[in-house]
Amino acid sequence: MTVEYVNSDAAFLKTDVKGSDYEMTYGGALSFLRRKYTRDLSDVDIAVSGIPFDGAVTNRPGCRFGPRAIRGASTELASLKAFPFGFDIFDTLAVADYGDCALNPHDPQAIPDAIADHARAILATDTKMLTFGGDHFVSYPLIRAHAEKHGPVALIQFDAHCDTWDDGGSPLNHGSMFLHAKEDNLLQVDKSIQVGLRSYNDSDHGFDILTSPWVHRNGVEAVIDRILNRVGDTPVYISFDIDCLDPAFAPGTGTPLPGGLATWQALEFIRGLAPLNMVGFDLVEVSPAYDHADITAMAAANVAHDWLAVMALKAGAKPMPVGQL
């Protein structure tokens, strides 16, 4: 484990996209996990970026502030070995913070293309993306860019809602983007799965649906087995809506619903995805104005952190766990 001691602003003073830095959690320029801010991705495995857009919400707005909140919550994880893996992610994986997608909030019809172009620029360098929303609509242009690179992808969607509703001709909507992704042949629906749903849905559109009650009755291992068997070796995109978690664990979101997943379950699911060919990951709908003691932002930061740990594991990091797991 390589830790450099930096007084502040490692995001700008750091010279390497690998290795970890020690910096006080309450000071310094914010980047995700104190990673170097750069748009030079020549030596980068995964680029973290934010899409601060919430113009497609149907209930409480505010998730445009999600990327900043997640970056802030991540400072507690920046210089620690990853639990339960026991290794420093950044000894193996080169991760940079790319900053946020440039958007004009006064030109909403240009938003989808701006997000897709942002993703295309990163993917053109053969760098994988970890993206923070923003509302869940942002997943549609992200998936479009990934499908242009990889062909139609499988989707693993962690969510309280199906997000395949008919939008009635209003496509800028955070409840219909996966229907559009299916209709536009961006997804391999027969390889896709939705986990944690607990709102009324009158059509499955071909997705395998594991409702929240099913998850609670059948347990973590059954969910992971179902996901792995469904996706197989298909290139898969993961979209994690923070409202898949119960509001007891993640109140800071726009459309909370009781009866959801616990944070520990979500982390176990992410850790169980290692066998898959994961091409991208987004985490959306964190709305800090409704949060309490930053628990939603911390849950989001931990989910994203654990996905990076899984990607480090796939890249050759050696687990060194301590204690009974």
Helices (H), 61-102: 66-73, 89-92
pTM, rounded to two decimals: 0.94
- Res 34: pLDDT: 93
- DSSP class of 37: B
Predicted local distance difference test score (pLDDT) of residue 218: 98
Q: What confidence score (pLDDT) does residue 325 get?
A: 64
- Domains with residue ranges and CATH for the chain: 3-154+234-314 (3.40.800.10)
Tell me, what's the pLDDT at 1? 46
> Which residue stretches of the chain are H helix?
10-13, 66-73, 89-92, 111-123, 139-150, 177-183, 212-218, 220-231, 263-271, 295-314
pLDDT along the chain (325 residues), means of 10: 60 81 81 95 98 90 97 93 95 97 92 97 99 96 98 98 82 81 96 95 86 98 99 99 98 96 99 98 98 98 99 96 76
Give, as one character, the DSSP assignment of residue 2: -
Beta-strand pair 46-51/208-211: unpaired
CA gap 57, 255 in Å, rounded: 9
Rounded distance, CA 47 to CA 304, Å? 12
Q: Which residues pair with 93 in a beta bridge?
A: none
The DSSP letter of residue 54 is -
Q: Angle at which helices 263-271 and 295-314 pack, to 10 degrees?
A: 10
